[in-house]
Amino acid sequence: MQVTTEQIDPCKVAVTVTVEPEKVRAAEEKAFLAIAKNIQIPGFRKGKVPPQMARPYVDTDRVKQRAADALLGPAYAEALQESGVEPFGNLRPDVELIEMNDDGPLIFKALVPTRPLVTLGLFKGLTVERRLLQVTDADVDEQIDNVRNRGAEYPDAGDRPVQMGDVLLADVATILEGNESGEGGESRPAFVEVGRNIPDFDNAMVDMTKGETKTIEATYPDDFPDENYRGKKATFIVTVNEIRDKVLPELNDEFAAKIHPTAKTVEELKAAIRENLQQQAVQMADNDVEFRLVGQIVDSSQINFPDVLLRAEMQEDINNLQERLKRDKLTIEQFIEQTGRTAQQIEQEIATAADRRIRNSLILSEVARAENITVEEEDVDRIITERAASMNATPAALRAMAEKNNQLNQLRDQALTGKILQFIKDSATINERTVTRAEIQAEQAAAQAAAGTMISEEEIEPTPLGLESARPKRRGKKAEAEPVEETPVAEETPSEE
């Protein structure tokens, strides 16, 4: 067997293998005999047809394919051993069959992914800004409003027409400008709160009656959160099925004691919410510092990795997205319509996010290697103890659960990542700055626009294009600070009380 190698790029080697004709003929004969056993000819039992009589009935291309399949694996393994090329992980090579003629050799080329190559840039003595979100009275009030909305009741409004603030059960079809064919504009049930959608839509809904169907022409405002919709026109076909009042619980001491485990008054509730918001602001600021520091190292380093690694990472993200869509009973076409992206934009966002994760991971691993940072068993114990406390469980019980679910290695990885990040932060200069929510959101939006964003689970919502419905607005992580887990009103059944 002949083997030649060629370095295609820093992390890919082309290995060309020539398998001798006699081995090819032997593999083809073996493949022929295996196929011939299943040939049936009148006068012979299955498996008893003489090989020479079966030969005219056996597809030669099928024989060649079966022989090639049998030869490629062993030949590839032997070629790697002979050439000394070491493939990275369990990534499969791209294989091209070059030649397999009658009585000739089998020649194939394998593009072998090899270990990533990282040349670290500056990773010590970095400077970064720690941006602490300022918690305001308006933020506290917003959290209380969210909780009150969650506890709202929705009595039937009777026969009166729609008013601002009403909650409607409606069927809504949407056709966005540029899709006048109507494709994707099928009617879907929606839970719509009038006054929380684009203005043209809400204004047209006022005075509609139960059972009425109306076609609404609306234009998305120039400041609409999703820039893909700004200034675009849409046609909504709406049928009102039910009209409900929205009655919020009264904000008083009884309400405060009901929704919070320790608060007994409204003022104590506000103080508890403010403290929780401040804690979350600190955590978000710390996470942002880590993200920015790693980003600086990535940008100053030279990172090469095999393209099949990126494809594998993207495929995992795609699989996760498909599972989420399946769980929410959405097709990819519906998801594309609702998010206002094209399939190409979604793929590019997935590729961008996967590429960034790979680069971050490789950089952290290289810092650990350069500084000899390792994880010890006490590091894992510390993580288990911290999590057990937050879950009101014992460390022993949590460790037993992790062992049962084969999650100890995952905990070790998390412990190692934490130690690497702490090393980077300890050597960095971190300047403090207090920022407003508006500043955080503007900076985050600019960063997402420049780098692309991974599709988040919150974006998969079975609601019409551009309608707020009764779900809370999707916000960036740095703008979120819920005192309790928020249950979308759109998933609740309005009360008949």
Q: Is 7 exposed, middle or buried (0-12, 13-18, 19+ CB in 10 A)?
A: exposed
Please name the residues in contact with 129: beta carbons below 8 A apart, sequence gap of 6 or more: 292, 430, 431, 432, 433
Q: Which two tokens stand for residue 472?
A: 């809370």
- The letter for the amino acid at 182 is G
Q: How far is CA 463 from each of CA 225, 330, 492, rounded to the nearest angstrom?
A: 16, 11, 14
pTM of the predicted structure, to 2 decimals: 0.72
Query: Mind listing the domains of the chain with CATH numbers?
Result: 2-115 (3.30.70.1050), 154-246+461-497 (3.10.50.40)
pLDDT in tens, 283-316: 999 999 999 999 999 999 999 999 999 999 999 9
CA distance 309 to 11: 10
Within 8 A by CB and 6+ apart from 487, the residues are: 150
Q: Find out whether 297 and 124 touch, Cβ atoms under 8 Å.
A: no
Look at residue 481 in the predicted model and tell me its pLDDT.
Answer: 29
Backbone dihedral region for residue 187 (phi beyond 0: left; psi -120 to 50: alpha; all else: beta):
beta
DSSP string, 179-234: -TT-TT---EEEEEETTSS-HHHHHHHTT--TT-EEEEEEE--TT-SSTTTTT-EE
Burial of residue 304 (number of CB atoms within 10 Å: 0-12, 13-18, 19+): middle
Residue 456: per-residue pLDDT: 45
Rounded CA separation 320/457 (Å):
10
**Quick one: DSSP state of residue 486?**
P
Structure tokens at 238: 């709406």
Instruction: Give the chain's length.
Output: 497
Encoded amino acid at 109, one letter:
K
Helix, strand, coil percentages for the chain (3-state, nearest 5): 45, 20, 35
What is the rounded distance in angstroms from the CA atom of residue 478 to the CA atom of residue 481?
8
Question: According to the model, what pLDDT value does residue 179 have?
Answer: 65
**Dihedral, CA of residue 216, residue 219, residue 223 and residue 229, to nearest 10:** 100
**Residue pLDDT, tens place only, 75-95:** 999 999 999 999 998 888 999
Q: What is the pLDDT of residue 363?
A: 96
Among residues 444, 466, 462, 461, the alpha carbon closest in space to that of 453 is found at 444
Neighbouring residues of 191: CB distance < 8 A, sequence distance ≥ 6: 167, 168, 169, 463, 469, 470, 489, 490
Query: What is the spatial distance between Cα 139 and Cα 273, in angstroms, rounded to a whole number?
Result: 9
Compute the distance between CA of residue 344 and CA of residue 97 in angstroms, rounded to an integer: 30
User: What's residue 208's pLDDT?
Assistant: 96
**For residue 447, what pLDDT is reported?**
66
Distance between CA atoms of 205 and 199, rounded to whole angstroms?
10
Chain segment 104-115, per-residue pLDDT in tens: 999 999 999 999
DSSP designation for 153: B
> Whose CA is closest to 363, among 445, 295, 428, 279?
295
Burial class (CB within 10 angstroms; exposed 0-12, middle 13-18, buried 19+) of 108:
buried
Q: List per-block mean pLDDT (blocks of 10 residues) for the chain, which spans 497 residues.
A: 94 96 94 88 80 86 93 95 92 90 91 95 96 94 93 93 95 81 70 93 95 94 82 93 95 94 94 95 94 96 94 93 91 82 89 95 96 93 90 90 90 93 97 89 69 43 29 30 28 36
- In sequence order, which ranges of 95-162 are alpha helices (DSSP H)? 137-150
